[in-house]
Amino acid sequence: MILELNALAVNYGAIPGVRKVDLTLDEGEIVALIGANGAGKSTTMKAIAGLLPYRGEIRYRGSVLAPMRAEANLAAGLSLVPEGRGILARMTVEENLRMGAYLRRDHAAVNREIISAFERFPILGKRRNGLAGYLSGGEQQILAIVRALLARPKLLLLDEPSLGLAPLMTAEIFSFIAGFRAQGLSVLVAEQKSKHSLAIADRAYLLSMGEVVASGAANELAEGGLILNTMLAIG
């Protein structure tokens, strides 16, 4: 098991962001975290990444994580692509990618990985010296994911990777994510419209008002779409 959340709870002052989340993720698994707007998906992701104080326990690769240690978590292989992507708009595409590798010392390997990203996504290569802020939303999302991969993560946390994107771009991004399983990378992906994440995930957790209200095999949850949609509507 690479990740285990035990009774995770996060408050924003008096407002509960997450009330009680228990979740596990095995090595090499893709797990979807689904739920309506405000259900607590982003809060869960940020707590795991070390960006928020919390109660309960987060275990990562057998050790209990200390809260609020984002840089230590990143160094240990936990990489977050935040909602809204977190691209540095006034830096170039290549500078954004290099930021992803800032903790690494194997510069030759970093250069090779950047070149192979430019081959895989030629638009990034063509615009390598252009400002990242001029890329389309979908291109920025790909840039954000590639930047996170340059940290050589063991667990990738993706918060709403399809937010605001056209269907074709969403499909391309999810097929990119689905390929991570073959590389042995573990992925936790949060998505409000659960369709794409359930299609690529092994398992899923449905959050409502800061609690897990359903979990199981992703295909079974997808088949129970009616119940799910009802819950999302009230969640």
- The DSSP symbol for 92 reads B
48 touches ligand ATP by CB under 6 A: no
In the bound state with ligand ATP, the residue whose beta carbon lies nearer, of 114 and 177, is 177
235 touches ligand ATP by CB under 6 A: no
In the bound state with ligand ATP, the residue whose beta carbon lies nearer, of 42 and 73, is 42
β-strands 203-208, 211-217 pairing: antiparallel
The distance of closest approach from Cβ of residue 192 to ligand ATP in the complex, given in angstroms and rounded to an integer, is: 5
12 touches ligand ATP by CB under 6 A: yes
> How many whole angstroms separate alpha carbon 132 and alpha carbon 63?
37
The distance of closest approach from Cβ of residue 206 to ligand ATP in the complex, given in angstroms and rounded to an integer, is: 11
**Residues 39, 49, 80, 212: which binds ligand ATP (CB under 6 A)?**
39
40 touches ligand ATP by CB under 6 A: yes
17 touches ligand ATP by CB under 6 A: yes
Nearest Cα to Cα of residue 209 among 4, 8, 14, 16: 16
161 touches ligand ATP by CB under 6 A: no
> How many whole angstroms separate alpha carbon 99 and alpha carbon 89?
13
The Cα-based distances of 167 to 86, 137, 170 in angstroms read 21, 12, 5
The distance of closest approach from Cβ of residue 205 to ligand ATP in the complex, given in angstroms and rounded to an integer, is: 12
129 touches ligand ATP by CB under 6 A: no
Side by side, the strands of the sheet bearing 211-217 are 63-64, 55-60, 3-12, 15-25, 211-217, 203-208, 30-34, 186-191, 155-159, 78-81
The footprint of ligand ATP (CB under 6 A) covers 12, 15, 17, 35, 37-43, 83, 160, 192
